[in-house]
Amino acid sequence: MKVNIEIDCSPEEARAFMGLPDVRPLHDLYIDRMTGLMKDGITAGDVERLMSNWMPSAASGIGEVQKAMWNAMTGGVTSGKKG
């Protein structure tokens, strides 16, 4: 026996039906802050703070990320000598 149920509803209605919280106010606040940063200009300190928030366990700071990228880019490079 196979039963198909099709429900026609908006994403907001589906979220409310599933009991999930409405994060629109938080999203709007985040977008406003990011827009302000873009208008005012982002400093190196802002980038470092964002990166440490986004990847707290992956890297202890921008230096670690830079070192990892440098190692990834230069790791496969040979001296050019054959043989």
Q: Which of 52, 46, 48 is nearest to 33 (CA)?
A: 46
The pLDDT of residue 82 is above 80: no
How far is residue 62's CA from residue 38's CA, in Å, rounded to a whole number? 20
Residue that wins the pLDDT comparison between 18 and 75: 18
pLDDT for 76 equals 53
Q: Where are the beta strands (DSSP E) in the chain?
A: none
pLDDT (tens digit per residue) in 33-54: 888 878 887 777 777 777 777 7
Q: Are 43 and 50 in contact (CB under 8 A)?
A: no
Give the residue carrying structure tokens 């908006």. Answer: 10
Query: What is the pTM assigned to this prediction?
Result: 0.39
